Amino acid sequence: MEVTELKILSELPKEEYFMCGHNECPACGAALVVRLALKVLGRNTIVVLPPNAILASAVRLSSFMVPTASAPMASAAALASGIVRGRRVLGNDRATVVVFGGDASTVDMGFQALSAAAARGDDFLYICYDNESNVNTGDQASSTTPLGAVTPTTPHGKAHVPKDMAIIMAEHGIPYVATASVAMLGDYVQKVQKAALIEGPKYIHVHTVCPCAWKIPDERMLEVGRLAVETRAFPLFEVLRGTLRLTYIPATCLPVDAYLGAQGRFKEISPLGRAKFQEWVNDKWERLYRRHTAGTTSGGVTSE
């Protein structure tokens, strides 16, 4: 398996396996997620894609410089399983198989196939770039859309908390699960590297800012992503063989108002809604921190 070993972001190889000319909007975090993962995984990689903005193979304009397979919306994990098993039968299973899926094709429509692949123990990496909405079809709400966010299908704000997909995948008992953020790319690429060296199903859930759906200026993409981490609205952690470890603990926890106020999709949220959002954030962090302190006996957390 060809995987680049690195300690800092500047050590990434110069080779590009996801080229310019793709269908992503300017300042789209998903393009960063794909580009940097492929730099780590290297040329000996097979990419599986459900329908999304990255996929342009239907018009023969793919930006990928590695083999790429297109799957139906709900079947990317099933196709990845088939590729892994087929190559094993042929005696050529050295390539890394990776799926890049958005939240709609991962957490909603594709969850059955992903859950089944995890239960079977199929050896591939699944990376979900979560922009918290159905961006490909008009920014409708998904299961990961935050509480209070206004979308075309939640015009008065989403009434329910988002699905915690990383914890759900960890409960499958797979060897490696992690969360990451486009605003903290060093942490992300190290987790891709770690996942690629582990046999079995691996899952990385990346908080991926979408300026269009979140109603923010393009130039604030990384800033807003960082606010999600610093307010603990999106905690960074990994679960390695059942042991959870927070990989970043904010030195000073900012109130969620700093994160919500930076986005147009929360302009209608009421003071009560903000309080509920903060309560949800606090509760989630406390649960994660308890698991972190129970499972960590040495070492520390990283910071950027």
Indicate the pTM of the whole model: 0.91
CA-wise closest residue to 73 among 45, 44, 102? 102
Percent share of the chain, pLDDT over 90: 68
**Considering the domain boundaries, does residue 4 fall inside one?**
no
Question: Can you give the pLDDT at residue 60?
Answer: 53
Q: Are 232 and 292 in contact (CB under 8 A)?
A: no
DSSP string, 104-169: IIIIITTHHHHHHHHHHT---EEEEEE-SSBGGGTSB--TTPPTT--BTTBTT---SPPP-HHHHH
CA-wise closest residue to 55 among 40, 39, 68, 67? 68
Q: Are 158 and 149 in contact (CB under 8 A)?
A: yes
Question: Can you give the pLDDT at residue 30?
Answer: 86
Range of the domain at 288: 9-295
**Considering the domain boundaries, does residue 150 fall inside one?**
yes
**Considering the domain boundaries, does residue 303 fall inside one?**
no
**Considering the domain boundaries, does residue 81 fall inside one?**
yes
- Strand-strand pairing, 176-181 and 202-207: parallel
**Considering the domain boundaries, does residue 1 fall inside one?**
no
At 104-116, the pLDDT tens digits run 899 999 999 999 9
Q: What is the mean pLDDT of the chain?
A: 88
Q: Is the pLDDT of residue 296 over 70?
A: no
> What value does the mean pLDDT take over residues 214-232?
95
**Total structural domains within the chain:** 1
Beta strand residue intervals within 208-267, DSSP E? 236-240, 243-248
- Residue 139 is part of a domain; what is its CATH number? 3.40.50.970
**Considering the domain boundaries, does residue 266 fall inside one?**
yes
3-class SS of residue 228: helix
Measured torsion, CA atoms of residues 242, 82, 106, 189, in degrees rounded to the nearest 10: 60
